Chain A
Amino acid sequence: MSKQWQVPIVYIVIHMGLMFFNYPSNVIASTRSTHWLPILIGYLLHVAALFVYLKGMSYFGNENIVMFLMKKSKLLARVTLLPLLLSLSIIIILLVRSNAEVISIVFLSNTPLWILIALMLLIPAYMVLQGGLNGLLRTGLVLSILFVPPIIFVLAAAFQNIDPHYALPLWSRDSDASAFLGRSSYYDSLFSFAGCFLFLGFVPSFASLKPKAIYLASVVLLPLYLLSVYVPIMTLGEDTALQLEFPFFFTIDTIEIDWLMFDRITMFLLLSLLSFVMLYSALILWQMVYIIRTAIIEIRTGIILPVIVALVLVVCLCIPDWKVIERYFTVNAPLWGYVSVATPIIVFLTGRRHVKRMERKIP
């Protein structure tokens, strides 16, 4: 299949997997009006980080960041990659635990939670074992063919009950417009922007990475982010949306389609998104295995992967409820913020120094 589209599609799809869960409620909680402003600023930050990251990687040629940094300096590589590894492991724990909770609430209230956690972990682990990064990229492509149409259908149906007046005013003159910058929920919302773009650094040397296609893909994301926030607001109004844990899913639950045999089209959306979450979990697991194998200790995937999965499973089981997950999210935010800002910058600086030195050598 067309190889140049694998990476951009996986990039879009894993962002989709994150953006509909916590993002709408965080943004709605962070500001009272002009919701597009926090979304746009978050998006621009994302594009800026992406630009620095991709620019830095373009200096590397056909090597991924782990290989390149290890070649430059082992210390630098470990200083850069260890925080990444740590935050990846926290993210996968939170991701698996929170999604198991969501599945338990929506679909399987009678099934013990540990089985759901195991399911959300074992399938990504199997995906990693099956094909490595190339296999994951191909899986992403097939999953997008299977599961993007239902999402588009649901998004199209989501406009059923909207009232555009709720989105107004688009610009308010009061000083409150930038108040979201002071709220912690806004910084939580940034996670869905920062969550996954770092995997791009691992792609070169496995598959071709065209920066242009990635920028193009990031353009596709902006309307999706706007939709994820504005659909609940326009359907329920800002005050009601603020009360809900998952405003987007609640909005979708209100949709009524006469000719469909299903009562809740939320099912389609949620299942599709969960498949993307599984893909994202698999990517995280693969990144962790790759970092460990390349930068820390040479060990077979078949040994290290079960160890990681078992550890994550145990930690997941220790998290008692949703409140704790949210607290961990907030605790993890500074670390993740540091990783997603520092990694691109380190990559950029190392890459530029490398190129400058090469230029000096070959005048």
Chain B
Amino acid sequence: MWQFYCLWTKKNVSVDVLNEKRSIVYRIRLGSVGILTNEIKYEEDTGNLKRGTDMTLANKMQLEFSRDQDYISRRLLVGDDVIVLLGLRSLIDFPHTISMLRLQLIAEDISEHPFQVKLAGLGHALSETQIDEVIAEVQNGMLVAIHDASGTCVSIFPVPQTLSRAIESPFSENSVRGSSSAFNEDLQTNIGLLRKHLNASDLQTASFTFGTTVKHRLILTYLSGSISSVLLASITNALESHLTQDVSNLQELSKALGINGFTFITHYNTTDLPQNAAGALKKGKAVIFLDRFPFAIVLPGLASDAFMTEDDLNFPYLYMVLLRCLRLVGILITLIFPGLYVALVSVNPDVLRFELAHSIAKSRLDVPYPAVVETLLLLLVLELLLEAIIRLPSSTGPTVTMVGGIILGQAAVSAKLVSNLLIIILAAVTIASATIVGFQNSLSLRLAKYLLLFLSAFFGVMGLMSGLVVICSYLAGKKTLGVPYLQLKKPEGE
């Protein structure tokens, strides 16, 4: 046997040379498993070269998956016919699938049809020459059945392994009065949930597959009657022009949508709840589902998403308005309070009433550094605490809470490191910042308060106001796919 390395296929090739009667047979085998790809017979009498059989589809597939332990290729006898079943064992429940297949193929009522017709009826036909298509089907978790005798190749829906969790209540947002079944990692489940919540004839879905080697499915849903055609066109154009790009996280999705990554606001919102997605669709937004992401991505994000939820609509109108006002107040408190403290303590104590200014000054009497440093220190601890609680497993989480309580509590005051008032203010800020809707929006808010803090340290209350103006104009200038960020209900162009 001779061993070669084929530069063209980049695989090891071995050639067996067999001396038969009056002829020499070269059997060319590929790969480490040694799959027969070609057989060439040299007839000594005539000097003819005769080609043997080409590689079958099953063999080609075996070669393709030769290093993949997950891959299964099985012969199955059904009556007199032999079919080859191909698939991935991690995605397909083989015992159940085979019994299902058998039952369907030997069913009495279709017994008069030829075998290949029966087989073709079980799934959709694939072309044997298009091996890439067959590989994609196998990778997608489909069962491929090949009937060599008739050259039929069919892709069948198997009994899948259960790899997704059941529909559960949401983790990253709460609903008080709405339905509480949340999206999970399975695309089909998510679309199904959405359809349950939005039984509309004009609910359209478009599917995109991103990536060349690693594939990701993305499903775009919209209500054709509600969405503006300009927005829809800009979304589909952006997606279609980036199909070769890898989209395995939201940053890459932003890139695919043509959204500038250097931004402080979220250009899309995410939601766990089908009712929120349905509400967004009705308002004329688009909803994107990404494979293995347990939430819907609502596009475009608007300023109103930070303080309005679909759940509010289940309250009486007046309460809805009041609740939303409360959230707006929460946003303003988060933004203004740290800056206001610094401005009033260090730059403009004169605007305060004398008694109050006096008591604040007394509480800061022993604090050895300027107000801005004091505030920054405590804010830093607070941010670290917020981050640490996300990182830690729930079993050790309470430790951080307890220790955090000591640092951000009376101990820090007794040690004369910070003033009483600052602890109260930061507690108020932390509570208020939690009223904003959506985790990603709270990140923007957390960052924005530092701008106001620094401007206040320089310019006092004037800096506070300038900071607000800067934030307002920043928000006013932002656009997502041509839709201004600063809008309340329907996303509209300029």
Contact = CB atoms under 8 A, between A and B. Distances in A.
Interface of A: 1, 3, 103, 107-108, 111, 116, 119, 123, 126-127, 129-131, 134-136, 138-139, 141-143, 146, 206-207, 260-264, 267, 271-272, 274-275, 278-279, 282
Contacts of A146: 468, 472
21 contacts: A1-B486, A1-B487, A103-B462, A107-B348, A107-B460, A123-B469, A127-B473, A129-B477, A130-B473, A130-B477, A134-B484, A136-B476, A138-B476, A143-B472, A267-B348, A271-B461, A271-B462, A272-B465, A274-B462, A278-B469, A279-B469
Interface string B450-494: 000000001111101110111011111100000010111000101
Interface string B342-355: 00000110111110
Contact of B469 (A143, A260, A264): A143
Contact of B476 (A116, A135, A207, A267): A135
B267 to A, nearest CB: 15
Contacts of B352: 261-263
B356 interface: yes
Contacts of B470: 123, 126
Contact of B472 (A1, A139, A272): A139
Nearest to A134: B494
Interface in B157-196: none
A275 B488 contact: no
Chain A at the B interface: SS class: helix
A1 B303 CA distance: 10
Most central of A116, A126, A135, A282 by chain B CB within 10 Å: A135
A206 B494 CA distance: 8
Interface of B: 347-348, 350-354, 356, 458-462, 464-466, 468-470, 472-477, 484, 486-488, 492, 494
A142 B462 contact: no
B465 A108 contact: no
A138 B462 contact: no
B486 A138 contact: yes
A242 to B, nearest CB: 27
A309 B19 CA distance: 92
A262 B353 contact: yes
A272 B472 CA distance: 14
A282 to B, nearest CB: 8
B358 to A, nearest CB: 12
Contacts of B465: 271-272, 274-275
B412 to A, nearest CB: 24
A206 B487 CA distance: 17
Contact of A135 (B356, B477, B487, B492): B477
Contacts of B477: 129-131, 135
Contacts of B492: 3
A142 B488 contact: no
A1 B488 contact: yes
B473 A126 contact: yes
B351 A262 contact: yes
Given A139-B476, A275-B468, 13 more contacts: A1-B488, A129-B477, A130-B476, A130-B477, A131-B473, A138-B475, A139-B472, A139-B473, A207-B494, A261-B352, A263-B351, A264-B350, A275-B465
B473 A111 contact: no
Contacts of A206: 494
A84 to B, nearest CB: 24
Nearest to B467: A123
Contacts of B458: 111
Nearest to B349: A263
Contacts of A103: 462
A205 to B, nearest CB: 11
A78 B484 CA distance: 33
Contact of A142 (B351, B464, B475): B475
Given A135-B477, A142-B475, A261-B352, A108 B460 contact: yes
Contact of B351 (A116, A123, A139, A264): A264
